[in-house]
Structure 1
Amino acid sequence: MTEPIQCFTPNSDPNKEQKIADAAALIATAKHLVFFTGAGISTESGIPDFRGPEGVWTLRDQGKKSKRKISLATAQPNSGHFAIRQLQELGLLKLLITQNTDNLHPRSGIHPDLLVQLHGNSMLMKCLNCNTFYDRKTIGWDMKKFGKGYRSQKIIPGQPRCPKCLGRIISSIINFGDPMPEDEMDIAMEHSEKADVFVVVGSSLCVAPAYHYPEEAINKIPAAKLILINLGETPFDDCATIHISAKSGETLEKIVTKVTSILKERDHPK
């Protein structure tokens, strides 16, 4: 995981409603729909993003500290998370790639087989040897005794081992300087290469290697249609088929409502 490059500032979108309709039409007819989410999808759950006006890194660069509105343990999925789950239930979603570690996509009901968590999950530990994931309670990980269990921390005598292979248990979180998870990256790339519609939600697309997935999707032949839903500019704006500058929750709700109508009309024409 590498340090972010410079990103941009928010703007408004006077053509939002037409773009929502156009995005719904693309999604409804997609053969291989891939979503990619960043911190911006969770701001409506009270979790600050990174490069927004009140983002963690934005405030850090100003010499200020972020004031998180809510803890990760009590944060709830919002309408944006549930809208993506609805696309899963409609059978359209082929993969959801997320940079987020807040556990809100799993809690919203996204199936594990359709989810790649590039930077880990704050609620999960994993075996460094066999890559099996565990919640802390299952393996008896006491954070007061053993800490967060980051890869860079020293092993504490008595800390739990993997029940399957006795390997070392660490936090699944990918911190700066940690290697990215190869299995997850391979799955994300495989689906990006297959995507005909690639939707980015709440990401500035400024962090490598994460931004390589939409890049792969639009640079292949035939190129995927790229839909960006983000409060602010990204380095991919000029490449996007549709760019909606708006909050993700309400926008995704409207898109999925229109997608559902399109599918009903297709299956039951008047």
Structure 2
Amino acid sequence: MSPTKQDLSYEERIQLAVKWIQNSQHLVVFTGAGISTESGIPDYRGPDGVWTRRDKGLPPLKMKMTMDQVQPNSGHEAIVELQNRGLLKFLISQNVDGLHLRSGISSEIIAELHGNRHLMRCLTCDRQHPKDYLWDSTKWGNGYRTSPIRDNQPGCPACGGRLISSVVNFGDPMPQKEMDLAQHHSMAADVLIVIGSSLAVMPAASFPLIAKENGSKLIIINHQETMYDSEADLCFHESAGATLQAILSAINE
């Protein structure tokens, strides 16, 4: 393991991350479920994650609030600040919670690879529409790709095509537009920051490696070790929100 990852203090790692971010021409952020745990949403592969507990024969932890009550946290807000300062060029997310868009990220610079629970997608024209204004789940169910078509369910306001939930379930095809954008920006990145992802779910987890293979610096911020820590130029196993806020504070200085 390189001295950068093994020997530097937390503060020294923060300062190095700041240097790379400030000097970057194409900063890309890649987020997983771990960025939303500080908002109260369980992750998947942490010590009490959904899949971890399932594999132990345990039920998932009960959330202390409903999904509609969940709010963006300091990690989401730090990414918005990087956007507002013109540093962040693109955001790739595995999350379906919609917190990035709610926090203020522009829809023009995000690829939500696994969809968004608040959006419906048209199978014909691929446009996305707010779910709340179009879809009544009590009448028409979840509207997943594999769900049966129900009587009188609405069509796409733009073309009349079939609307489905934008959430990508196991076995569903990945959204091509979002995959193409993620591929393009990963190849263009000169600094890519992974936040809150175990990097265990393919094909999404391939994008940080694509960036690294194309010469990008790779920073991983995740409570647990990932299988790609050895590929990273910097690793933080501290809190995502606190680490991102520390990076912003150092940029301000």
Q: Normalised by the size of structure 2, how large is the TM-score?
A: 0.95
Q: How does 1:38-187 map to 2 (within 5 A)?
A: 38-67=32-61, 68-139=63-134, 141-187=135-181
What is residue 9 of structure 1 aligned with on the other side?
none
Which structure has more RCO (C-alpha within 8 Å, separation ≥ 6)? 1
In the TM superposition, residue 260 of structure 1 has moved relative to its aligned partner by 2.9
Change (3 A) 1:197 1:14: closer
State the distance in 2 between where 1:17 and 1:33 align. 21
Shifted more, 67-76 versus 19-28: the winner is 67-76
Report SS of the residue matched to 2:12. helix
In the TM superposition, residue 202 of structure 1 has moved relative to its aligned partner by 0.3
What is residue 228 of structure 2 aligned with on the other side?
236
Unaligned runs of 5+ in 1: 1-12, 262-270
2:118 and 2:132 in contact (8 A); partners too: no
What is residue 260 of structure 1 aligned with on the other side?
252
What is residue 4 of structure 2 aligned with on the other side?
none
Alignment coverage as a number of residue pairs: 246
Q: Which of the residues 201, 207, 216 maps onto 2:210?
A: 216
Identical amino acids, percent of aligned pairs: 50
Q: Does 1:245 align with 2:237?
A: yes
| CA distances 1:7-41 after superposition (whole Å, capped 9, x unpaired) | xxxxxx98222211111111111100000000000
In the TM superposition, residue 69 of structure 1 has moved relative to its aligned partner by 3.1
Q: What one-letter code is carried by the residue in structure 2 that aligns with 1:175? A: N
Unaligned runs of 5+ in 2: 1-6
Report SS of the residue matched to 1:253. helix
2:29 and 2:90 in contact (8 A); partners too: yes
Runs of 4+ in 1 over 6 A off after TM superposition: none
1:80 and 1:252 in contact (8 A); partners too: yes
CA RMSD for the aligned pairs?
1.2
